[in-house]
Amino acid sequence: MKKTYTGNLFALILILIMIFYKYFLSLIVIKLPFSKVIITVFVLIIIYALPIIFYFFTSKASIADTFSIKKLKPVNILLVILISVIIQPLLMLISTFSAIIFPNNISSVFEIYSTYPLWFVIVSIAIIPAFCEELFFRGIVFSNYRNVSFFKAALACGFIFGMAHMDGQQFFYAFFMGTIFCYLVYKTGSIFASIISHFIINCSQSMIAYGIYNTSEISSVATQTQVTAKTLLTAAQYTLVTLPLLMLVFYIFHRYNNKYLLLETEESLDFTLLPTNDKVINTPLVINIIIFIYILFISL
């Protein structure tokens, strides 16, 4: 079995498990005498754990190599943190544009989470997804794209990451960030780069949303989540101000890793530019796309 096929197949398995839980198993789970949010967090871990365990059981792949487990240099930690902070206005702009077309379902999720302690919100929205999603997408999926060019690998992995959110409003945002996460892992050779970035982005946004929902009336919050010309202009202005700085930090990050780490020569992340018979677009990916389009259609 070709490696890109394997990566796409396990992405399909994950999405099918998500669909099974969301539309079937959740109807039973919500009747259990436990907190809905706590059950959701627990199920999230199980949903990611099952295909990860199955992958290593069937492939006999190296855990260290698949997950790109490598210590990050202090300079890279600082640069990843800076990128994760400065990139957020751009993410806000992408999310705002998406909300013009698709409904903002995430606001209703935050409304529920706002009734829980902040530490629980951070654990469930920032810490757990940062580890589970990165181990799967930048670990299992991304590692199976190492026999195609990095450009194709990053776009494909980001695209699958976006579809896995099964939400139109989050798709473009997640697609973009999934591609950036791939770049961080590729240049540093460490999955901890994407885990840190993922955590910072989710944590900061969940804290902001938590603050809004706990200091405003529900009607006021609903108004704030609606896309207006003012919110779009504000997002564009913040992006224009921070974009030059973001590009500078990315440039420093790129030059630092090229000069001192020389990861392009490391076998563990050897994305070849040589032509191969391994194609990015295959049956599992096509099925994923069809499922995602169907979910978008029924959500409109």
pLDDT digits (tens, 9 = 90+) for 236-286: 999 999 999 999 999 999 999 987 654 343 444 556 555 566 789 999 999
Q: Which residue range is the domain that position 147 belongs to?
A: 3-299
Predicted confidence band of residue 218 (pLDDT cuts 50, 70, 90) = low
Burial readout 261-276 (b: 16 or more C-beta within 10 A, e: otherwise) = bebeeeeebebeeeee
Tokens of 103: 């409904």
CA distance linking residue 95 with residue 113, whole number of Å: 20
- The pLDDT confidence band at residue 175, using thresholds 50, 70 and 90, is very high
From residue 174, how far is each of 22, 169, 221 by CA, in Å? 20, 9, 23
For position 265, what pLDDT does the model report? 39
- Please give the C-alpha separations between residue 238 and each of 55, 149, 242, 244, 248, in angstroms, as whole numbers: 42, 33, 6, 11, 16
pLDDT category at 228 given cuts 50, 70, 90 is confident
From CA 272, how far away is CA 266, in angstroms rounded? 11
Distance in angstroms (rounded) separating the CA atoms of residues 171 and 162: 4
CA 71 to chain centre: 21
Residue 181 pLDDT exceeds 90: yes
Nearest 5°: CA angle at 22, between 102 and 162? 45
pLDDT: which is higher, 213 or 258? 258
> Under 8 Å CB-to-CB from 35, ≥6 apart: which residues?
none
What was the pLDDT predicted at 262? Answer: 43
CA distance 175 to 143: 17
Supply angle C-alpha 194, 200, 205, rounded to 5.
130
pLDDT reported for residue 291: 95
Closest CA to 4 of 188, 206, 147: 147
Rounded to an integer, what distance in angstroms lies between the CA atom of residue 237 and that of residue 249?
A: 19
Contacts for 53-57 with beta carbons within 8 Å, 24 or more apart? Answer: 54/10, 54/13, 55/10, 55/140
Count structural domains, the chain.
Answer: 1
The pair of three-digit structure tokens given for residue 163, joined into one six-digit string: 């579809």
pLDDT for the residue numbered 297: 86
**Is the CB of residue 278 less than 8 Å from the CB of residue 78?**
no
Assess whether pLDDT exceeds 60 at residue 222. no
Answer whether 106's CB lies under 8 Å from 170's CB.
Answer: yes
Examine the pLDDT at 47 and tell me if it is beyond 50: yes
